[in-house]
Amino acid sequence: MCGIAGIFNISPYSDVPLEHKVKKMLALIRHRGPDESGMYLGENIAIGNVRLSIIDLKSGQQPLSDDSGNFWIVYNGEIFNYTELREHILKKGIRLKTHCDTEVVVQMYALYGAECLQYFNGQFSFCIWDKKNKECFLARDRVGILPLFYSYDKNVFSFCSEIKGLLASGFTKRGLNHESLAQVFTFWTTIAPHTPFENIFQLPPGCFMRINDAGTQIEKYWEADFSIQKDSASRSITDILSEYKELLKDAVKIRLRADVPVGAYLSGGLDSTVTTSLIHEINPEVLNTFSIGFEDAVYDETKYQMEAAGYLNTRHHAFKCTQYDISNYFEKTIWHTEFPTLRTSPTPMYLLSEKVRESNIKVVITGEGADEYLAGYDIFKEAKIRQFWANQPASTFRPKLLSKLYSYLPIIRDAGPTALKLFFGYKLNDTSNPFYSHLLRWHNTSRNKIYFADDILQKLTGYDPLNLLYSKLPANITDWSTLGKAQYLESTIFMSGYLLSSQGDRMLMANSVEGRYPFLDHRVIEFCNKLPDNLKLNGLNEKYLLKKMSEGLIPESIRKRVKQPYRSPVPESFLNFSRSEYVLDVLSSVNINSFGLFNPLKVNALIAKMNKQKDVSEVDQMALTAIISTQLLYKMFIVDKAGINVNHLENLRIIHEEQVA
């Protein structure tokens, strides 16, 4: 994978120093592509790329054109079926000058325009410059694995793989958007196209964008559909299992295509153990696997990681993440996420990718996506239990199922019926609401908006992020099952906006590592979405189909184990380390007052409360992490203007438009 950036000066008479600006943008995202860099420079256009070489190491340099020389591309990602598409292009008599997927993308666009996206199986974001029509075409993969941000101000359109590049371009005023912060403090992320920053947007997953002198146009080319399939129930479980394994195995197989070694994450859970097992089936050579453990047994899964590695005979690399590590690296984490986070979980993932890079591995296969599309998360079970409880809301027995579900949280595990009703009874009977599965989570998260500064709270009076979300729902969502609605919300908001971004791409690419996700192959997603609910969540048995499929492939202890959510320590990381000077700095009353984001009295009261309590609630942990990360974001990018003086970019290859005209 790579990083891309560019500026299109739609007003040809204005003076915009394109080369200097784009060079600065690329320099700031050099971690995404440390191997090479290039720029296409025209009178009113400059597009550039920093490259992480994975395929066709010798001749895959960017920017790159189609055979006519009219279309020029900068590209971030992988098209895993590029070999087959390459043959498709050659059969049309078109000569290709490289063996890389980048040329396949631009040539397919030359042939089919926006329809080319329907041919691609991959993860990508790219920009294609059409010289003849003076138009930029940008696109992002179906589920948002790879980022693409843009700004459009005073007829200057700029884009970049990361927000910091847009801020460095100087075309947008630096500031945080308060409504976007309210979204983060509700959903854990913003709702696309919004970002935490003023006048900086993201191209939503599954969308493409055209920019020309008529303005900008965004269209959706793919959306997950969770409609109930009436004919799927008639198929035998044997046939379904066979087709699912064949699809998933092929998804793994094409993701092993690379001209560099490929490793795998091995968390000790079902998903990563299955993908590693399939890799072992396809290529029985010793595989490098990587895992992270924790000092605190509550978070640690080392036992299962080592068991899986031994069973599959991998060359395993394991390390322990300490509370000090999280404290020490959280500041760097926020530099890369460019979003506030409500969990410290991205930091261990940053450290894990660092270990991968130290082992000279550029690509890892990982297991994200199975939980979303095969109903693996507790939130799906919680919705089912709450709906069951809503049939008899006075029952004291039914809410006890929730204490069993969250047995890893002492405050819930040990709660009595009254406490459970107070906590889980929020809008219990609102079962027809399309947000029913997530209303409780969002309500609890949004309670932390009380820490906003008084003037921000006043500005947000009457603003409800859920109204924005209502306007973006699919027209037929009311026909979906409760599980289907929950899966849609989880995959389009939490997965795309947080899991694949703050905890995924940004932590991998911070150390120049590419992640690949077999469960997010669109063929696998579309297959899972057509399954009956009981093949995903069977009673309260999550990922039923995957568990059935994995019989004999992985250790039974892992196949049958209770899912352990990936979590990492919060109060221990921030409140027990006086050496974390940045925490003291951003939480100081001086900075809280001067930044104007939070109420210092309420923040100080939260810290005092957490220092006294032995068991800190999940809501308070989220509040502390959100406050620290938002303060860090503001300090780095608004106050300190991070990256404004970064210009260094060695060996930049520039292609001048007039030389290739």
Average pLDDT over residues 113-142: 98
| Same domain? 130 vs 194 | yes
Would you state the pLDDT for residue 13? 63
Q: Report percent pLDDT > 90 for the chain.
A: 77
The answer to whether position 632 is within a domain reads no
Half-sphere exposure of 519 (CA within 13 A, CB side): 24
The answer to whether position 521 is within a domain reads yes
Starting at the edge strand found earlier in the chain, the sheet holding 514-516 runs 315-321, 288-294, 262-265, 363-365, 514-516
| Closest C-alpha among 638, 639, 640 to residue 175 | 638
Q: pLDDT grade, residue 574 (50/70/90)?
A: confident
Domain that holds residue 256: 232-324+346-373+505-559
Q: What's the whole-number average pLDDT of the chain?
A: 92
d(CA 349, CA 409): 22
Would you state the pLDDT for residue 231? 62
Would you state the pLDDT for residue 647? 64
Would you state the pLDDT for residue 643? 61
Q: pLDDT grade, residue 579 (50/70/90)?
A: low
**Does the pLDDT at position 577 exceed 70?**
no
Work out how many domains the chain is built from and give that number: 2
The answer to whether position 433 is within a domain reads no
Q: Which positions are annotated as active-site residues?
A: 2
Last residue of a domain, one of 173, 199, 222: 222
**Does the pLDDT at position 298 exceed 90?**
no
| Same domain? 116 vs 159 | yes
The answer to whether position 439 is within a domain reads no
Would you state the pLDDT for residue 370? 97
Q: pLDDT grade, residue 661 (50/70/90)?
A: low
Q: Can you read off the two tokens belonging to residue 633?
A: 């974001």
Residue 475 sits at φ, ψ, to 5 deg, of -65, -30
Average pLDDT over residues 411-425: 81
Would you state the pLDDT for residue 284? 85
| Same domain? 23 vs 112 | yes
Strand partners, 78: 123
| Same domain? 11 vs 151 | yes
Would you state the pLDDT for residue 644? 59
d(CA 433, CA 257): 44
pLDDT, tens digit, 9 for 90 and up, residues 306-358 = 999 999 999 999 999 988 899 999 999 999 999 999 999 999 999 999 999 99
d(CA 249, CA 523): 12
C-alpha separations of 228 from 72, 532, 620 in Å: 42, 7, 38
Write the CATH number for 86.
3.60.20.10
The answer to whether position 441 is within a domain reads no
Which amino acid makes up residue 404?
A: K
Q: What is the largest CA-CA distance in the chain?
A: 77
Would you state the pLDDT for residue 411? 75
- Cβ atoms of 457 and 449 within 8 Å: the answer is yes
Place of tokens 């976007």: 180
238, with CB counted inside 10 A (0-12, 13-18, 19+), is exposed
Among 209-223, 288-302, 377-391, 577-591, the least confident range: 577-591
Average pLDDT over residues 144-165: 95
Last residue of a domain, one of 158, 189, 222: 222
Q: pLDDT grade, residue 233 (50/70/90)?
A: low
Residues counted in the chain: 661
Write the CATH number for 549.
3.40.50.620
The answer to whether position 131 is within a domain reads yes
Range list of H helices, 15-58: 18-28
The answer to whether position 205 is within a domain reads yes
| Same domain? 168 vs 83 | yes
Would you state the pLDDT for residue 564? 74
Average pLDDT over residues 359-368: 96
Opening angle at CA 301, ends 297 and 306, nearest 5: 125
| Same domain? 264 vs 195 | no
pLDDT, tens digit, 9 for 90 and up, residues 424-454 = 889 999 999 999 999 999 999 999 999 999 9
**Top-confidence residue, 254 or 170:** 254
| Same domain? 217 vs 237 | no
d(CA 309, CA 381): 30
Would you state the pLDDT for residue 202? 98
Last residue of a domain, one of 222, 244, 268: 222
Other Cβ atoms closer than 10 A to 527: 19
d(CA 361, CA 354): 10
C-alpha separations of 463 from 181, 299, 452, 622 in Å: 12, 37, 14, 21
Q: Can you read off the two tokens belonging to residue 197?
A: 């920053």
Average pLDDT over residues 571-577: 76
pLDDT, tens digit, 9 for 90 and up, residues 625-648 = 999 999 999 999 999 986 656 667
**Does the pLDDT at position 405 exceed 80?**
yes
| Same domain? 191 vs 245 | no
Half-sphere exposure of 464 (CA within 13 A, CB side): 9
| Same domain? 255 vs 208 | no
Sign for the CA dihedral angle at 97, 101, 102, 108 comes to positive
| Same domain? 154 vs 179 | yes
| Same domain? 247 vs 292 | yes
- Cβ atoms of 617 and 411 within 8 Å: the answer is yes
pLDDT, tens digit, 9 for 90 and up, residues 85-110 = 999 999 999 999 999 999 999 999 99
pLDDT, tens digit, 9 for 90 and up, residues 452-499 = 999 999 999 999 999 999 999 999 999 999 999 999 999 999 999 999
Average pLDDT over residues 66-82: 96
Q: pLDDT grade, residue 14 (50/70/90)?
A: low
The DSSP code for 480 is S
d(CA 83, CA 405): 45
The answer to whether position 646 is within a domain reads no
| Same domain? 263 vs 207 | no
